Amino acid sequence: MKFYDGIKLDDYSNEPKYVQLYEKLKNLIEDGAIKPNEKLPTIRELSKKLGVNASTVVNAYRLLEQKGYIYTKVGSGTYVLKKSEEKIEFFSENITVLHKKDEFSINEGINFSTLTPHSNLFPVDEFKLVINKVLDRDGAHAFTYADPQGYYFLRESITDYLKECGIETQIENVSIISGAQQGIDLVAKALINFNDTIVVESPTYTGAVAVFKNRGANIIEVPILEDGIDIDELEEVLKRHRVKLIYVMPNFQNPTSITYSFEKKLALLNLAQKYNVFILEDDFLTEVNFGNKDAQPLKSLDFCDRVIFIKSFSKIFMPGLRIAVLVSPLNMSKNLIFLKQNSDISTSSLIQRAFDLYIREGFWTSHLKKLKDIYFERYMIMKENLSKLYFVDFKEPYGGIHFWIKTDIDSSILAYFAKKNGVILAPGNVFYLDSRSSNNIRLSFAQTKIDEIKEGIRILKECYEKNKLPG
């Protein structure tokens, strides 16, 4: 308690006492007087020590937590946050509007960090039209519970659409879920129990890893090579461990933008059959293909019915809809629907009906075409500008909305300085389980117009040249 001895609160100040206390504690933390992971005194201890009300301490702690200085372990106490967790401040995968009241006035600079399309790409007028048509057509039915497996007619129109993507399946195996993240959660609930082992690609989407961890899984990373996951290492893992699930993004992988070769896809399916393990395919960008012949869904090749297929619409349509599709192997549907019902009963009936009508009226096809045209232009500009950078190395993905580039300095350093200059990057380290140092950066053009791509890459070059090691 020695550091707390020196704290004096002013009875006559204009500042409320809890704000004064917050300021004092904040300074102690920033100065390093109270160390990362050090436990703070309990509310009772500190209020007694300082002779203030418990509520003063409660409010000061609350403010410290909001500002990211401390965190709470349930049933244990309050601790100082580690400095390394600062990375959260300048990188967030899915959320561009976070804890901000006035969302309309945000100016984040040039944002290469997110895969989420900019809202100026959303077909708002068409969607408003179908919502109103649905409300006129279905009335109150649009607000009842939907079937937990999903609105029948949407499942029908999606089953037809999947056929266009090469996936032949029956409507019984198709479920509508509240976004791909929920699909990952449902599959984890269905297949992963405490202490089970699962395999993920390395690097990978850490939002999935968080779900697997919460189920108590042991997670093994297998590296991604230029043509997909390292099959030899994967087989070694499958030999040594009873693996329950392999989580992969075979097309335009996040973050590497790598697409598995046809041969590798078959090899993966063969291993799944040989070792009796399920594969979770997370598909979010297959449609955005600019000539990559390998980018068919793994599910379309699934001769052994071992692939659970999730298609997200958040990167190719509107993320706020919270709609995705899950295609399950035969006989797994029933259990997944039961788990879906236990997770949130069902997905919004109105939104499902509106999306169904959107597809049936042909809006979906034309939206996709328009979006691909816009993305193709951005893709070419980004490729061209990155190619000019002497310090950058990358493999062309021939599709998708992001590049995975490599430099010779630590990406978190580059991201830090880029942010100071108004450019937001996704540094490679955030895609590894151990946040290891990485020289890779994921650059996405989902939010950036042509001019911003050029300007952003120019600034990136400046930041590199200021920060590269001498020699």
**Pick from 15, 39, 124, 362: which binds its own copies (CB under 8 A)?**
124
With residue 220 as reference, give the H or E element that holds it.
Answer: strand 218-225
Virtual torsion, Cα 285, 291, 293, 299, nearest 10 deg: 20
In the complex with its own copies, the residue whose CB is nearer, 140 or 469, is 140
Find the binding residues for its own copies in span 6-45 (CB under 8 A). none
291: CB partners within 8 A, 6+ apart: 398, 399
Smallest distance from its own copies to CB 73, Å? 9
Smallest distance from its own copies to CB 245, Å? 11
Smallest distance from its own copies to CB 461, Å? 31
* Count of residues of this chain found to bind its own copies when the rule CB under 8 A is applied: 85
Smallest distance from its own copies to CB 110, Å? 18
**Pick from 27, 210, 263, 362: which binds its own copies (CB under 8 A)?**
210
Give the burial class of 321: count Cβ atoms within 10 A of its Cβ; 0-12 exposed, 13-18 middle, 19 or more buried: buried
Q: Does 140 bind its own copies (CB under 8 A)?
A: yes
Q: Does 178 bind its own copies (CB under 8 A)?
A: yes
Q: Which residue has the tokens 């000019």?
A: 388
Smallest distance from its own copies to CB 328, Å? 10
Smallest distance from its own copies to CB 215, Å? 9
283: CB partners within 8 A, 6+ apart: 249, 250, 251, 297, 299, 309, 310, 311, 312
Smallest distance from its own copies to CB 410, Å? 26
Smallest distance from its own copies to CB 421, Å? 25
Long-range contacts from 14-22, C-beta under 8 angstroms, 24+ separation:
16/59, 17/52, 17/56, 18/55, 18/56, 18/57, 18/58, 18/59, 18/60, 18/63, 19/60, 19/63, 21/50, 21/52, 21/56, 21/57, 21/60, 22/59, 22/60, 22/63, 22/64
In the complex with its own copies, the residue whose CB is nearer, 213 or 406, is 213
Rounded distance between C-alpha atoms, residue 218 and residue 109, angstroms: 39
Find the binding residues for its own copies in span 421-440 (CB under 8 A). none
Rounded distance between C-alpha atoms, residue 139 and residue 329, angstroms: 35
Rounded distance between C-alpha atoms, residue 428 and residue 435, angstroms: 8
Smallest distance from its own copies to CB 179, Å? 5
Q: Does 96 bind its own copies (CB under 8 A)?
A: yes
Task: Report the largest interatomic distance among the alpha carbons of the chain, rounded to a whole angstrom.
Answer: 76
Q: Does 152 bind its own copies (CB under 8 A)?
A: yes
Smallest distance from its own copies to CB 432, Å? 18
**Pick from 13, 27, 84, 193: which binds its own copies (CB under 8 A)?**
193
Smallest distance from its own copies to CB 72, Å? 4
Which residues are paired to 403 by β-bridges? 443
In the complex with its own copies, the residue whose CB is nearer, 14 or 331, is 331
**Pick from 128, 240, 370, 420: which binds its own copies (CB under 8 A)?**
128
Site string for its own copies, 46-75 (x = CB under 8 A): ------------x--xx--xx----xx-xx
Number of residues that make up the chain: 471
Find the binding residues for its own copies in span 442-461 (CB under 8 A). none
DSSP state string for 350-415: HHHHHHHHHHHTTHHHHHHHHHHHHHHHHHHHHHHHHHT-TT-B----SBSSEEEEE-SS-HHHHH
In the complex with its own copies, the residue whose CB is nearer, 40 or 414, is 40
In the complex with its own copies, the residue whose CB is nearer, 80 or 386, is 80
Find the binding residues for its own copies in span 316-355 (CB under 8 A). 318-322, 330-332, 334-335, 338-339, 341-351
Find the binding residues for its own copies in span 380-419 (CB under 8 A). none
Q: Which amino acid is at 125?
A: D
Q: Is 244 left (phi over 0), alpha (psi -120 to 50) or beta?
A: alpha
Q: Does 89 bind its own copies (CB under 8 A)?
A: no
Find the binding residues for its own copies in span 262-321 (CB under 8 A). 276, 314, 318-321
Give the burial class of 8: count Cβ atoms within 10 A of its Cβ; 0-12 exposed, 13-18 middle, 19 or more buried: exposed
Stretch of 25-33, 171-179, 249-257, 388-396 contacting its own copies, by CB under 8 A: 171-179
